[in-house]
Amino acid sequence: MEYRDLTDELSWHRFACAVVREYVDASQQHGEHFASVHEAYAVILEELDEFWEHVRQPTGTRDAGAMISELVQIAAMACKAAVTIEMRAGIVNR
């Protein structure tokens, strides 16, 4: 999913809404929980590596929308990891 529209008047609210949309979409496609914390780590690391690829580009050539999109995905997967950890620890009933 593209979040290029976030580059126009980016605000915390819009970012948070994008994270929720990404979390819901990912949960519908791949399940609400990760299979393990190892999987959670791997997915977050993959998204972080994708962000790093953008950061490594020369300053004037970076795609702000793509960078924000990766940050949205990182945040959404961190949320999914937290939900998985809570569920496995019995902190919340799911």
Alpha helix locations (H) across 1-94?
12-30, 37-55, 64-89
Chain CA centroid to CA 79, Å? 8
pLDDT, residue 93, reads 56
pLDDT tier at 81 (50, 70, 90 boundaries)? very high
Q: Which residues contact 48 (CB under 8 A, 6 or more apart)?
A: 74
pTM of the model: 0.83
Q: Which residues contact 77 (CB under 8 A, 6 or more apart)?
A: 26, 40, 43, 44, 47
The most confident of the ranges 1-5, 13-17, 63-67 is: 63-67
pLDDT, residue 91, reads 84
Which one, of 91, 55, 93, lies nearest residue 74 by Cα?
Answer: 55
pLDDT, residue 14, reads 86
